[in-house]
Amino acid sequence: MKFFLDTANVDKIKYYADMGLVDGVTTNPSLVAKEGRNFEEVIKEITSIVNGPVSAEVTATDSENMVKQARQLSKMHKNIVIKIPMIKEGIKAAHTLAKEGIKINMTLIFSPSQALLAAKAGARYVSPFVGRLDDISHIGMELVETIRGIFDNYDFNCEIIVASIRNPLHVVDAAVTGADIATIPPDVMDKLFNHPLTDIGLAKFMKDWESAFGK
């Protein structure tokens, strides 16, 4: 499973990229707004750090302007993937753009039928939002399982990005389910490392070494 970072924070991206843990990056308007920086400048900087797909989202909600924005954004770097919301106008835009060879990440996917439509229209990625489904008492990961089953039945050239990840178990479950990608917020990435027994074990190794050989 590939690891994407779900952030527009370049320091966090650099930090985990140095560990070889970043196969790509996803952003959205909320994440970019949080950084308080110029959108295109941030996206450009991310493409200079990560050698993999970088999702940048359109803010238009009609297909004509989505296409315009997408063409503009995709000129910035060969690794730019255009994130488009899963609405009818978005599907129309995705279809036009896919025919031009522009890669689309269909976002705000909350049902199997939406994922199927996105793949049929030519999207290169679908982003089911597991955390937001969990938030309303639906099991988000069941959606990922269903989409996996559908995509395995056919030969869509469409990868599943598990999005709206809120905890380390979401990442593990995404891998168990056979999702292609998990897009992980930095705080969750950090939690993936932790285990109290690792800390206790290391402290004991250090203490034993010190008592035998000194500092």
Q: Which stretch binds ligand G3P (CB under 6 A): 13-21, 60-68, 128-136, 138-146?
A: 128-136
Count the site residues for ligand G3P by CB under 6 A: 9
Work out which of 7, 9, 164, 177 binds ligand G3P, going by CB under 6 A: 164
Nearest residue to ligand G3P, by Cβ distance, number only: 164
Q: Of the two residues 181 and 202, which places its CB atom closer to ligand G3P in the complex?
A: 181
Give yes or no: 83 in active site: yes
Residues in 19-58 at the binding interface with ligand G3P, rule: CB under 6 A = 26, 28
- Report how far apart, in Å, the C-alpha atoms of 133 and of each of 29, 143, 180, 189, 208 are: 20, 9, 19, 20, 48
State the nearest-atom distance from the C-beta of 128 to ligand G3P, in Å.
10
CB of 213 to ligand G3P, least distance (A): 48
6 binds ligand G3P (CB under 6 A): yes
Nearest residue to 59 via CA among 39, 79, 36, 35: 39
Instruction: Report the SS3 class of residue 200.
Output: helix
Q: Which stretch binds ligand G3P (CB under 6 A): 92-100, 114-122, 127-135, 207-215?
A: 127-135
DSSP-assigned letters across all residues of 85-153? ESSHHHHHHHHHHHHTT--EEEEEE-SHHHHHHHHHHT-SEEEEBHHHHHHTTS-HHHHHHHHHHHHHH
Q: What are the Cα distances from residue 92, in Å, to 19, 66, 96, 110?
A: 39, 10, 6, 18
Which residues are part of the catalytic machinery? 83
- Which residues of this protein are in contact with ligand G3P, per CB under 6 A? 6, 26, 28, 129, 131-132, 163-164, 183
